[in-house]
Structure 1
């Protein structure tokens, strides 16, 4: 670690940051020509605009606020004189920003089409509007948009049809979902696996498991191959209704017919129990699996471990992790993140260290959110020197520290009265072009003054001025 005075010498050579607080300019002055926006989705960053990105996105934000809040939005938008920048990208971004305002989005879309002859809507905007109207249950308006698409020979993709069917199911409108499913040929859309899964989800939402099972039989009869989601939807539905026996029988029958799920049936059952909130049943099934020598899927284990940790059963999570690893589980980075965090929170630092080193040996380079829990555990136990040494080691072996990690370090140092070390980390942040929070500067300078280090406090204040351009 650098000495305090060597670090402070860098205060005067630190990179100066400037605030991007440009004032919102008149829209007339930033509007590009029509030709410049003729290809709106080429080069997402610039889109052929001569407008600075900050001004362009400020315009989109302003228009979105008008659409969401202004009763007379058409009149207000006309007063803005933004005709020359109304293109597919702008309309899409505004529609996406207003995804919870169905009728208002529809009015904005109509305004863009009728008031700007140069604007020719694409499939992207139409589908975004359909999703918004389905999400907000404006069905009649949604079908008007569908008819507009049909009149312009714009096809509806299976993903949008699936989205609409799912939202019919969430609202309990199963008859409408079935009608749409049966009328797909009228829209030039085929009944893909994705569409079948959406219909299956809608049936399970209204607890019509008999109909859902009949749909799967029809799906197989038509030659459509089920995927993992197909099995998961029905198993999750049965588990949520407490019908675990039916779920097991379904998986066994599908296996007999040669349609084995992409993952093992027990993993699907565990996922279903977790989704339904039956944590104890899921834990019991995993215990039974491990006693028989079977290893759960890594994704299933991660879901179970995360749910168990939320209930505070840290010991169970760590012990289960050790058991499944002995049986041959190959943990991924998410597994390590869950288990290391759990062990560190429980104060089991030695085990957290062992698991971290195991991840390094497995070829995983530690990232900040992986080693931050161990750092925090050291600080909570007052082992500052161990924490500083471990952090130095991670800077070499792991991914570079990020802004939240440095903020945590400074905060924990200040809590422990280690204000000089906190000031060093402030300087280190600026060297890495990571702008510290104002609160971090204030806490460090106040602490330095209280412990009599006024010269150092003054230099930290000068650092704050230099990096913020005050």
Structure 2
């Protein structure tokens, strides 16, 4: 009820009650997490021009970062992070170090910097969490990746689909297909939109395990949801069919012909 919240805050001004940091912080967080970035930026500007200001606290700016991240405006989020360096040089420098180390694959060094931030009692921003989760998944540190995912959700941040997809790919590489399927279910429950990156690793993993029936069913679900499988998924399934003709013979040939027709159309 963002408009009602803003009306109430305006009533405070009418009654001569000045907004304090909590007022600004709450409004900025509400607007940015609710997808109303323009309103969030307006409140941030009002806060910066007021005597109250941010008082050296990062939370309103981290809320803006999360809002941009949630709207998938990642380039804008990185630009805003750079601009934050004027007010919070130490915090921003460490954030950039973690982002850069994750991009370089130096995940152990990134963990050390992350530990320093936590050791100082500071809360990392959503970009730091996101890059670390991707870095952990790429490096095979799946336990740490899941711990960070739980932590980021606990802090009120909701990850984007590519972050979930990184976890799915990571557990599939380790052969933990059941965990990947549970992640898919979790994404659906949370309202996260599934995409090609959510399904491809599962199809490949199921085919490698020889579970052609589940792979076939998953591919059918993708087509029903208008998610077009890419070459990798089709190739994995067709190679598996060629290696397991007895499974293919047991299937409803109408279904098989339907899927093959989908391949031709794509």
* Structures share fold, TM-score greater than 0.5: yes
| Partners of 2:116 and 2:102 in 1: CA distance | 17
The 5 Å alignment of 1:385-424 reads 385-397=178-190, 399-424=192-217
| Partners of 2:231 and 2:263 in 1: CA distance | 11
| Partners of 2:96 and 2:115 in 1: CA distance | 16
| Partners of 1:398 and 1:332 in 2: CA distance | 23
Q: Give the one of 345, 353, 370 matched to 2:146.
A: 353
Partners of 2:234 and 2:263 within 8 A in 1: no
Compute the TM-score of the two structures, normalised by the length of structure 1: 0.35
Residue by residue over 1:356-407, the C-alpha shift from the partner in whole angstroms, topping out at 9 and shown as x without a partner, is 0111112222322112222222122222222222222222225121123322
Partners of 1:372 and 1:405 within 8 A in 2: yes
Partners of 1:302 and 1:338 within 8 A in 2: no
Question: Structure 1 residues 434, 369: closer, same or farther in 2, change over 3 A?
Answer: same
CA displacement at 1:440 relative to structure 2 = 2.3
| Partners of 1:363 and 1:431 in 2: CA distance | 32
CA displacement at 1:443 relative to structure 2 = 2.6
Q: Give the one of 350, 355, 368 matched to 2:161.
A: 368
Does 2:143 align with 1:319? no
| Partners of 1:469 and 1:374 in 2: CA distance | 31
Counterpart position of 1:263: 87
CA displacement at 1:338 relative to structure 2 = 0.6
Q: Give the one of 218, 221, 225 matched to 1:432.
A: 225
Partners of 1:340 and 1:352 within 8 A in 2: yes
Per chain length, whose mean CA-contact separation is higher, i.e. which structure has more relative contact order (CA < 8 Å, sep 6+)?
1
| Partners of 1:367 and 1:462 in 2: CA distance | 33
In structure 2, the residue corresponding to 1:296 is in which secondary structure?
helix
In structure 1, the residue corresponding to 2:159 is in which secondary structure?
coil
In structure 2, the residue corresponding to 1:382 is in which secondary structure?
coil
Counterpart position of 2:131: 338
CA displacement at 1:352 relative to structure 2 = 0.9
Counterpart position of 1:296: 91
More helix by share: 2
Residue by residue over 1:388-445, the C-alpha shift from the partner in whole angstroms, topping out at 9 and shown as x without a partner, is 2222222222512112332232223323333222222211211211122255234313
| Partners of 1:468 and 1:319 in 2: CA distance | 50
The 5 Å alignment of 1:175-214 reads none
| Partners of 2:166 and 2:113 in 1: CA distance | 20
Compute the TM-score of the two structures, normalised by the length of structure 2: 0.58
Larger radius of gyration: 1
RMSD: 2.9
Counterpart position of 1:186: none
